[in-house]
């Protein structure tokens, strides 16, 4: 992967210290079966330099603020998280943007916080978990939020949460359940007509949309049967989504995603720090080595610039000047990551 790739990462997480404390008070020490990772702005910038990323749009991963049973406390935590992310963006202009956290499943409070975050804090969009306390996106009672987001032409980053069911022993939720969670949300959004009723909202589905590209035709036929709509119209709604490449740019998954997504609708994502640095490198290598240069440039940057026009107004910042030992270490890391990626590909027999 080239350190001059100038990627825009739409799937990078922030884990503020005060948020970690609030989670610990609730007895939460992991997300999706993975321990909460360490995070700092400096470590984020170092990872970005390693991957050739110039701008990362930060988001809070599951459980967001929905783990707080008191709606007022959840709304207050969402505000604190958004103020913190806005400060990070202001302190590192050009390097960080953010998707605002909303206190779902309270759609009215979420609409109010979306208005504040988008209008006053200049968030790049909002994060919505696929389900909050078992309530999925696309369910009844969310119209006020959709109206608010549609009026602003907002970008909605859809991130999975743990399924509203017990996990299966031996299967960490992030490994398989997260993909189903995103797919469930996408299904309900399309089934209940949200993309058509609110056409100015741009939805980004994490992790290449879960199972959406692979199972899109099967789901389209089911929804068409259920709603008397044309399967082609349903497929068109699924293809209206944007998709990030986080943990998904393998030789098996990437061709399916690129074959299904509309041109311009695939964006680079790393999922760092929940995806540790070696994993972020592994899948970045999968993208670098499996698409042509024009497509790579589009996925790395151009598609995101179209979705976030503010990023075209400011040229990418030059990579920071690093000490020679750091440059040598990162060069060795890139070489090792490329070798590991090649070694782990299946044979052709």
From residue 82, give the alpha-carbon distance in Å to each of 10, 64, 85, 126: 16, 11, 5, 10
- Whether the CB-CB separation of 104 and 135 falls below 8 Å is answered with yes
**Dist. CA 134–CA 77, nearest whole Å:** 20
- Tokens of residue 270, six digits: 């790393």
List per-residue pLDDT tens for the chain, 349 residues long: 455 579 999 999 999 999 999 999 999 999 999 999 999 999 999 999 999 999 999 999 999 999 998 999 999 999 999 999 999 999 999 999 999 999 999 999 999 999 999 999 999 999 999 999 999 999 999 999 999 999 999 999 999 999 999 989 999 999 999 999 999 999 999 999 999 999 999 999 999 999 999 999 999 999 999 999 999 999 999 999 999 999 999 999 999 999 999 999 999 999 999 999 999 999 999 999 999 999 999 999 999 999 999 999 765 555 556 565 655 555 555 555 555 555 556 554 4
DSSP 95-152: TEEEEEE--TT-HHHHHHHHHHHHHTS--SEEEEESEETTEETT-TT-HHHHHHHHHT
With CA atoms as reference, report the closest residue to 4 among 58, 54, 41, 57. Answer: 54
Helix (H/G/I), strand (E/B), else coil: 157:
strand
**Residue at token pair 């979420």:** 110
pLDDT at 1: 44
From residue 216, give the alpha-carbon distance in Å to each of 117, 185, 211, 255: 33, 13, 8, 15
pTM: 0.91
Residue ranges of E strands in the chain = 7-13, 30-31, 34-35, 53-59, 96-101, 125-129, 131-132, 135-136, 155-159, 202-205, 242-244, 266-267
- Whether the CB-CB separation of 206 and 155 falls below 8 Å is answered with no
- Whether the CB-CB separation of 161 and 181 falls below 8 Å is answered with yes
Q: Which residues pair with 84 in a beta bridge?
A: none
pLDDT at 313: 73
DSSP 43: H
pLDDT at 349: 46
Q: Which residues pair with 243 in a beta bridge?
A: 205, 266
Sequence-separated (6 or more) residues with CB below 8 Å from residue 4: 52, 319
Report the run of H or E that residue 215 belongs to, with start and end: helix 212-227
With CA atoms as reference, report the closest residue to 177 among 30, 32, 279. Answer: 32
């Amino acid at each position: 992967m080239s350190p001059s790739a100038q990627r825009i990462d739409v799937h990078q997480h922030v884990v503020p210290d005060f948020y970690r404390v609030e989670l610990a008070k609730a007895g939460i020490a992991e997300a999706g079966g993975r321990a909460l990772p360490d995070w700092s702005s400096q470590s984020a910038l170092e990872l970005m330099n390693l991957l050739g990323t110039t701008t990362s749009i930060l988001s809070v991963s599951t459980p967001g603020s929905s783990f707080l049973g008191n709606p007022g406390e959840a709304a207050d935590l969402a505000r604190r998280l958004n103020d913190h992310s806005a400060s990070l963006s202001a302190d590192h202009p050009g390097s960080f943007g953010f998707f605002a956290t909303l206190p779902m499943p309270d759609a009215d409070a979420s609409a109010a916080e979306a208005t504040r975050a988008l209008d006053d804090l200049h968030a790049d969009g909002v994060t919505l978990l696929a389900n909050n306390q078992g309530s999925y996106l696309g369910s009844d009672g969310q119209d006020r939020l959709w109206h608010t987001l549609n009026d602003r032409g907002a970008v909605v980053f859809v991130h999975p949460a743990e399924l509203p069911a017990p996990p299966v022993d031996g299967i960490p939720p992030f490994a398989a359940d997260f993909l189903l969670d995103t797919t469930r949300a996408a299904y309900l959004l399309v089934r209940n007509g949200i993309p058509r009723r609110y056409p100015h909202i741009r939805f980004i589905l994490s992790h290449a949309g879960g199972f959406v590209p692979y199972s899109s035709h099967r789901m389209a036929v089911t929804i068409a049967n259920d709603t008397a709509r044309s399967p082609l119209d349903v497929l068109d709604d699924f293809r209206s989504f944007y998709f990030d490449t986080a943990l998904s740019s393998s030789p098996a998954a990437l061709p399916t995603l690129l074959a299904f997504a509309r041109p311009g609708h695939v964006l680079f994502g790393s999922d760092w720090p929940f995806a540790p640095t070696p994993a972020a490198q592994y899948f970045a290598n999968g993208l670098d080595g499996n698409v042509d240069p024009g497509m790579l440039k589009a996925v790395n940057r151009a598609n995101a610039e179209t979705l976030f026009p503010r990023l075209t107004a400011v040229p990418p910042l030059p990579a920071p000047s690093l000490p020679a030992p750091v440059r040598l270490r990162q060069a060795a890391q890139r070489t090792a990551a490329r070798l590991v990626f090649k070694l782990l590909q299946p044979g052709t027999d």
